[in-house]
Amino acid sequence: MLLCDIGNTSYHFFDGENSYKRDVTSFEPSSLQEKVYFICVNNTLHVKLKSLHNWIDLAQYIAKDKYYKTMGIDRIFAVEAVANAVIIDAGSAVTVDVVQKGRFVGGFIYPGIRAMQKTYENISPALSYSFNFECDLDIMPKNSQDAISYGYLKTLYCEVMSHKLPIILTGGDASEFQKIFTNATIDTALIFNSMKKIIQQNEDTLC
Amino acid sequence: MLLCDIGNTSYHFFDGENSYKRDVTSFEPSSLQEKVYFICVNNTLHVKLKSLHNWIDLAQYIAKDKYYKTMGIDRIFAVEAVANAVIIDAGSAVTVDVVQKGRFVGGFIYPGIRAMQKTYENISPALSYSFNFECDLDIMPKNSQDAISYGYLKTLYCEVMSHKLPIILTGGDASEFQKIFTNATIDTALIFNSMKKIIQQNEDTLC
């Protein structure tokens, strides 16, 4: 069974054993003959994939009224995977979604590492530092690098910890954020597992 | 007595009654004959002002060892003005400094409103919203505008409130942030009052 999580920059495949990425600008989805179960946040590609009968959009098997209209399908699938957790998906944006007793409570969007570093750099060349993920967030900073690292990380940390729920990290920068959220679990297969769950729940129709 | 707080874009004057701004690119400091007490974060201008005998740099009257080397002189003067407070200076950057029992505990730097809006916009056109300062920060968001507003504001709010100190707002966006920090005091004259205090403490040398 081939699964595919499509973002704005890449097709992320999982063939049951291995996961691999293909660039959206060069990969041709019609080159695949087998059945591909997918979710897609990329509107242009979405239209194209609708015309390919072997690409099955799993989004249609979600009860969308639990979520909000403009919420990304990748966030929805991450939320569908858990019962009680704060899910932090750390990529170009950091999305933070709260699930309690299997119910989506709500979520927010925070800039990703590179986007936020660029922001500080644009405010002033004097703030052009990499974030220090080893910075002690229990101590108020007394140097410029820690002042921006703390500004980016401690603010996020305070909000996330206030929910008093287990924390699940996913996305390309999950391991960086685990330095801050030391008790968090990294689950890089969160969305693929959720896709498998949805397929199992709908196997009469899908398989 | 003429006071002047010089930033990267303007000279901000206070003549004892009124405050007014002059653009750094067009204003000529040597056009003033009277004594001007100033602080300056603009390195290029700082060099120029040193050659003018009637421009008195108040930075030299501060015990710098209480602060860190790259900390802006405007932040230092804001801190010198208070004994127990979190000072939020909301401009192109938002600086947050903590003072307890007259001692500088430390501080951090967070992006200003326009810089952060630009950041979300650059991540995705789908996040190109103005922040909703009326967004209820007690409720997890369920729409895109609130998801970024909460991401920007609630994270900052959680950190600031954790200090359990009175909050003083200053800078051009102080009134926007007061919508979130409803018990905060706005003090637009914080730095000028601090400059006056330093002058009084050193009147034997300065006046």
DSSP for chain A, written as a single string: -EEEEE-SSEEEEE-SS-EEEEETTT--GGG--S-EEEEE--HHHHHHHHT-TTEEEGGGGS-GGGS-TT--HHHHHHHHT-SSEEEEEESSEEEEEEEETTEEEEEEEEE-HHHHHHHHHHH-GGG-----TTS-TTS---SHHHHHHHHHHHHHHHHHHTT-S-EEEESTTHHHHHTTSTTPEE-TTHHHHHHHHHHHHTHHHH-
Kindly report the backbone phi and psi dihedral angles of residue B5, in degrees, each rounded to the nearest multiple of 5, phi listed first: -105, 110
Angle of the B144-161 helix axis to the A144-161 helix axis, nearest 10 = 110
Residue of A5, A74, A89, A187 with catalytic role: A74
**Partners of B22 in the β-ladder:** B11
> A124 CB near a chain B CB, below 8 Å?
yes
Q: Is the pLDDT of residue B205 over 90?
A: no
Amino acid found at A26: S
How high is the pLDDT of residue A25?
93
Backbone dihedral region for residue B139 (phi beyond 0: left; psi -120 to 50: alpha; all else: beta): beta
What pLDDT does B48 receive?
92
Note whether A179 and A93 are within 8 A (CB): no
Q: With an 8 Å Cβ cutoff, is B9 touching chain A?
A: no
Spatial separation of the C-alpha atoms in residues B172 and B178, rounded to whole Å: 12
- On average, the pLDDT of chain B sits at 95
DSSP β-bridge partners for residue A89 = A95, A170
**What is the model's pLDDT at position B1?**
87
CATH of B83-188, one of 3.40.50.1820, 3.40.50.300, 3.30.420.40, 2.30.33.40: 3.30.420.40
CATH code 3.30.70.20 for A2-61: no
Region B183-197: what's the mean pLDDT? 96
Nearest Cα neighbor of A166 from A81, A86, A83, A82 is: A86
All residues of chain A having their beta carbon less than 8 Å from the beta carbon of residue B46 are: none
The catalytically annotated residue of B74, B146, B173, B187 is B74
Q: Tell me the Cα Rg of chain A.
A: 19
Chain A, nearest residue to B147 by Cα: A108
* Chain A residues within an 8 Å CB radius of B156: 155
A129 — contact with chain B (CB < 8 Å)?
Answer: no
Q: How confident is the model at residue B2 (pLDDT cuts 50, 70, 90)?
A: very high
For residue A165, the chain B residues in CB contact (below 8 A) are none
- The span from the CA of A57 to the CA of A39, in Å, is 6
With beta carbons less than 8 A apart as the criterion, state whether B17 and B3 touch: no
User: Residue A135: phi, psi to the nearest 5?
Assistant: -55, 130
Residue in B with minimal Cα distance to A8: B124
Chain A hits for B98, Cβ within 8 Å: 140
Q: Mutating which of B159, B164, B180 best tests the A interface, going by the most A Cβ atoms within 10 A?
A: B159
Question: What residue has token string 């927010």?
Answer: A108
Radius of gyration of chain B (CA): 19
| pLDDT tops 80 at residue B181 | yes
Check pLDDT > 90 for residue B108: yes
Do B70 and B37 contact (CB within 8 A), yes or no? no
pLDDT per residue as tens, chain A (207 positions): 899 999 878 999 999 999 999 999 999 999 999 999 999 988 889 999 999 999 999 999 999 889 998 899 999 999 999 999 999 999 889 999 999 999 999 999 999 999 999 999 999 888 999 999 999 999 999 999 999 999 999 999 999 999 999 999 999 899 999 999 999 999 999 999 999 999 999 988 886
Q: Specify whether the CB–CB gap between A131 and A52 falls below 8 A.
A: no
Q: What is the per-residue pLDDT across B118-147, written as a single tens digit (0 to 9) for each?
A: 999 999 888 999 999 999 999 999 999 999
> pTM for this structure?
0.91
Q: What is the pLDDT of residue B207?
A: 67
Strand partners, A2: A36
Token readout for B195 is 């400059």
Nearest CA in chain B to A141: B106
Would you say residue B96 has pLDDT above 80?
yes
Q: How far apart are CA B159 and CA B143, in angstroms?
A: 24
pLDDT score for A120: 97
Q: How far apart are CA A161 and CA A181, in angstroms?
A: 9
Interchain proximity A109–B144, CB inside 8 Å: yes
Which pLDDT value is given to residue A207? 67
Kindly list the residues from chain A whose CB atom is less than 8 angstroms away from the CB atom of residue B158: 155, 158-159, 162
Comparing C-alpha atoms, which of A61, A11, A10, A9 is closest to residue A36? A11
Mark whether A89 is an active-site residue. Answer: no
Which of A155, A161, A164, A181 should one mutate to test binding to chain B, selecting the residue with the greatest count of B CBs within 10 A? Answer: A155
Q: Is A55 an 8 Å CB contact of chain B?
A: no
Inter-chain CB proximity B70 and A144 less than 8 Å: yes
CATH 3.30.420.40-classified regions of chain B: 2-61, 83-188
- Rounded to whole angstroms, how far apart are CA atoms A171 and A160? 17
